[in-house]
Amino acid sequence: MISANDLSPAELAALLHFHADAGVEWLLEEEAIDRFAEFEAMKAARRPATQAQQQRPVAGESLTPKERSVPGERQTPPRPGTASLRSAAPAERAASGPQPAIPDGEAVQQARFAAESARSLSELKTAIEAFNGCNLKHSARSTIFASGDAESGIMVIGSAPGAEDDREGVPFSGKSGQLFDKMLAAIGLTRSAILLTQVIPWRPPGNRAPSAAEMDICRPFIERQIALAEPKAILLLGNFSARFFFGENDTIHGLRGRWKGIAVADCVIPAIASLHPQDLLTAPVNKRLAWNDLLAFQAKLKSLSLLRN
């Protein structure tokens, strides 16, 4: 194992960034501990006790059925349905593993009930913060909720919080947030002049893609945000958010730049997708595509009298 004292400042910074991107954000011990060796030692210590317990007869059953039987006496088979739990193989019981506290289907129902019960964005924020049915919440530091002007009629929806968002508790933080602010300014908007939110309110560990179950659980919350805000136009940023709302599996390059309707409650809201600021930081050559999408979004806002000429 390489000591941190042997690393140069640049190497140490690169290592810390690697761990941060992987979802490791703090250390629990001052010295590194070999958990694998610790686990093997624990297994070895438990093995003799486990073997002795398996060999020890259960009270009242010190003799096998064959030893208890009297020669010539007929053995009575056990009645159906009376098998003891001891007859189940321990390996089979262990293979099933611990069951989740809230099954996914029940969590979706709870999320839908909590979302529909909210009569305002503030009530919805409280409901999301109190909701514990999504595993993403247990690994995230912050719950990211909508911010900005809910009365503007303009809504921008990102995908899921990143590491910077989770640390700051604000959507579109860090370098991607700085680029996002420049994108808004280029078409005459600011964060305070729009309603900004994300599809998933909690950061997935290591910035992985949310699972299908996690998306189903979070869907009632984002749809309720849209229903309560009643935007006149929506800008979707990123591949995930575009697929989430458009119901297609194409890449962002195939989904961007085209207006489509998002059906929420009893309304159909026009929406256009574009590249996420993080995508533009990774591949700056795509900025021209995002600029065309922003111009289309600006033109729509002007036609709806949501943006001054």
Torsion of CA 41, 46, 47, 53, to 10 degrees: 180
Q: How far is it, in rounded angstroms, from Cα 103 to Cα 120? A: 28
- Burial class of residue 135 in the structure, from the number of CB atoms within 10 Å of its CB (0-12 exposed, 13-18 middle, 19+ buried): buried
- Residue range 169-201, pLDDT digits in tens: 999 999 999 999 999 999 999 999 999 999 999
Is pLDDT at 53 greater than 90 in this prediction? no
**Predicted local distance difference test score (pLDDT) of residue 158:** 97
Mean per-residue pLDDT of the chain: 82
Model pTM?
Answer: 0.68
C-alpha closest to that of 136 among 215, 198, 226, 19? 215
| Stretch (H or E) spanning 155 | strand 154-158
- Residue range 60-95, pLDDT digits in tens: 444 444 444 444 444 444 444 444 334 344 444 333
Confidence class of residue 4 from pLDDT cuts 50, 70 and 90?
low
Confidence class of residue 24 from pLDDT cuts 50, 70 and 90?
low
In order of 57, 89, 233, 238, 300, the CA distances from 306 in angstroms are 80, 67, 9, 23, 9
